């Protein structure tokens, strides 16, 4: 089955709310929190591009500051590695 790739809207290199809502749940490293669900967003830490996947890894490495657990940080690393095997993922 062919997958349809959605063109994500960006402004100044940042994803817009409309673009974030257009992403599928498989384009996020973590499921949505309560606030994201309320706003219609399908997840946290978008990994739809290599740059955003690297950013998700960086934010997961700062887990004490972004409010995620160690297991959620491990999930981010696992999802990024599965989607982009060429990105080196450290075992923090």
Give 40's contacts (C-beta < 8 A, 6+ positions apart): 21
* pLDDT given at position 5: 54
11 membership: H or E segment, kind and range: strand 10-11
pLDDT by residue for the chain (92 residues), tens digit each? 444 455 677 777 788 888 888 889 999 999 998 988 898 889 999 999 999 999 999 999 888 777 889 999 999 999 999 999 999 888 76
* pLDDT given at position 6: 55
Give 15's contacts (C-beta < 8 A, 6+ positions apart): 8, 9, 46, 52
* pLDDT given at position 73: 92
**How far apart are the C-alpha atoms of 12 and 53, rounded to whole Å?**
18
* pLDDT given at position 1: 45
* pLDDT given at position 11: 79
CB 53 within 8 A of CB 44: no
* pLDDT given at position 7: 64
* pLDDT given at position 9: 72
């Amino acid at each position: 089955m062919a997958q349809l790739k959605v063109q994500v809207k960006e402004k100044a290199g940042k994803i817009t709310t409309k673009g974030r809502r257009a992403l599928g749940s498989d384009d996020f490293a973590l499921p949505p929190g309560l606030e994201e669900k309320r706003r219609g967003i399908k997840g946290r830490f978008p990994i739809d591009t290599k740059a955003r996947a690297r950013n998700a890894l960086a934010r997961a490495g700062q887990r004490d500051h972004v409010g995620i657990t160690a297991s959620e940080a491990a999930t981010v690393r696992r999802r990024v590695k599965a989607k982009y095997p060429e990105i080196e993922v450290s075992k923090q």
